[in-house]
């Protein structure tokens, strides 16, 4: 088979696996959220409600496709597609195991940040094209949030980059498997950098407590207010894929990716990714939404200075730490 065929096959398998993970993830989230609230969660469709996501998708796809009057039709239709493409696009650089990387770019981290950052474009497009004030407000909030939280995100990602001296995600993971996980050592730039990354990732993916672009209680459904049926499903999907990929990258950058004893690398990577994915749900169903101004205050007054400090510490560590400690 040609190289192109291999690439296409790999991509197709990866996308299929990610989408089914998202489906199971949605089921798990509803179950987990139920338990956190002392409820049962879905129980009817399938054993333990396992087929609930399937039923949801079928229901969503059956719904009427509504385009509001006065909407910018081209942008309105394009936005959900772009959102899905961008969120899946980041997966290309995911180092699943030493031999499973769709594209081992030597600038994987920059690619990941760039394509992940593109996610805000369809969000704003949707908000603008909907011809709806709630959607537009949501879009504006999304832009403000994404641009702000891009800064701590980049700073947090810079820490493993500096420590390992590589911009390739696989390179960073390889360095960690040869030395140590960054979340464990050196603790000071490592663990806080992970916390920073996690928060910024939640904000970039518009997850609670940073979901002010959606903010049901204020903006109906934010940018997705006017979306129905299949297009809404795509947005929904994109959000989950974004979170899943963000968890995978967090696992790769800070928790050694495929590195681990006893089991093949892929298992470790998947386990770490899912563990982080679960933490996202855990946070989502625990915390409350931040207000807009609190969000900005957290970003600019706390996360960004902390991020700068961590980058400096990491640089100092690389420069001055004794060779044995590295």
Give phi and psi for 97, each to the nearest 5: -155, 170
Nearest residue to 133 (alpha-carbon basis) of 39, 68, 189? 68
Please give the helix or strand (H or E) that residue 197 lies within, else none.
helix 187-204
Whole-number Å distance between alpha carbons of 243 and 232: 17
Asked if 19 is part of the footprint of other proteins (rule: CB under 8 A), the reply reads no
Going through 22-129 in order, the beta strands assigned E by DSSP cover none
Asked if 38 is part of the footprint of other proteins (rule: CB under 8 A), the reply reads yes
Q: How far is the CB of 35 from other proteins (least distance, A)?
A: 4
Nearest residue to 254 (alpha-carbon basis) of 203, 180, 323? 180
Q: Which residues pair with 97 in a beta bridge?
A: 100
Asked if 61 is part of the footprint of other proteins (rule: CB under 8 A), the reply reads no
Asked if 271 is part of the footprint of other proteins (rule: CB under 8 A), the reply reads yes
Q: How far is the CB of 252 from other proteins (least distance, A)?
A: 15
Asked if 212 is part of the footprint of other proteins (rule: CB under 8 A), the reply reads no
Q: Give whichever of 12 and 184 is closer to other proteins, judged by the CB atom.
A: 12
Site for other proteins in 143-202 (CB under 8 A): 143-144, 146-147, 150, 154, 167
Asked if 134 is part of the footprint of other proteins (rule: CB under 8 A), the reply reads no
Choose the stretch contacting other proteins; rule: CB under 8 A; options: 39-47, 216-224, 231-239, 313-321. 39-47
Q: Which one among 71, 83, 88, 115 touches other proteins, defined by CB under 8 A? A: 115
Please enumerate in sequence order all residues whose Cβ is within 8 A of that of 103, keeping only pairs 6 or more positions apart, or say none.
Answer: 92, 93
Please enumerate in sequence order all residues whose Cβ is within 8 A of that of 301, keeping only pairs 6 or more positions apart, or say none.
Answer: none
Asked if 90 is part of the footprint of other proteins (rule: CB under 8 A), the reply reads no
Q: How far is the CB of 97 from other proteins (least distance, A)?
A: 8
Choose the stretch contacting other proteins; rule: CB under 8 A; options: 21-29, 181-189, 213-221, 254-262. 21-29
Site for other proteins in 275-294 (CB under 8 A): 277-278, 282-283, 285-287
CA 321: distance to chain centroid?
33
Give phi and psi for 67, each to the nearest 5: -115, 120
Task: Measure the N-to-C terminal CA separation of the chain; round to a whole number of Å.
Answer: 43
Q: Give whichever of 7 and 46 is closer to other proteins, judged by the CB atom.
A: 7
Give the x/- contact pattern for other proteins in 95-114, rule: CB under 8 A: -x--xxxxxxxxx--xx-xx
Whole-number Å distance between alpha carbons of 186 and 75: 46
């Amino acid at each position: 088979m040609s190289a192109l065929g291999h690439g296409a096959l790999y991509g197709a398998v990866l996308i299929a696996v990610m989408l089914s993970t998202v489906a199971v993830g949605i089921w798990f989230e509803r179950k987990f959220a139920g338990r956190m609230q002392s409820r049962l969660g879905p129980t009817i469709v399938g054993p333990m409600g396992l087929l609930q996501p399937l039923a949801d998708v079928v229901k969503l796809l059956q719904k009427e496709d509504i385009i509001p009057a006065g909407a910018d039709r081209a942008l309105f239709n394009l936005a959900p597609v772009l959102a899905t493409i961008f969120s899946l696009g980041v997966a290309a650089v995911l180092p699943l195991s030493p031999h499973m990387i769709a594209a081992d770019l030597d600038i994987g981290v920059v690619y990941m940040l760039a394509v992940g950052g593109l996610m805000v474009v369809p969000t704003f497009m949707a908000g603008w094209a909907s011809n709806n004030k709630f959607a537009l407000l949501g879009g504006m909030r999304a832009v403000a949030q994404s641009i702000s939280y891009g800064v701590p995100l980049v700073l947090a990602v810079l820490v493993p980059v500096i420590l390992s001296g590589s911009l390739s995600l696989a390179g960073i993971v390889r360095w960690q498997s040869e030395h140590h996980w960054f979340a464990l050592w050196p603790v000071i730039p490592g663990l806080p950098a992970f916390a920073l990354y996690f928060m910024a990732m939640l904000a970039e993916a518009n997850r609670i407590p940073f979901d002010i672009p959606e903010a049901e209680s204020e903006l109906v459904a934010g940018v997705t207010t006017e979306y129905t049926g299949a297009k809404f499903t795509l947005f929904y999907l994109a959000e989950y894929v974004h979170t899943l990929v963000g968890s995978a990258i967090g696992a790769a950058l800070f928790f050694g990716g495929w590195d681990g004893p006893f089991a093949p690398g892929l298992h470790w990577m998947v386990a770490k990714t899912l563990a982080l994915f679960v933490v996202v749900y855990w946070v989502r169903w625990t915390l409350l939404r931040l207000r807009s101004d609190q969000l900005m205050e957290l970003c600019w007054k706390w996360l960004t200075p902390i991020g700068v400090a961590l980058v400096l510490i990491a640089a100092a560590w690389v420069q001055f730490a004794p060779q044995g400690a590295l």
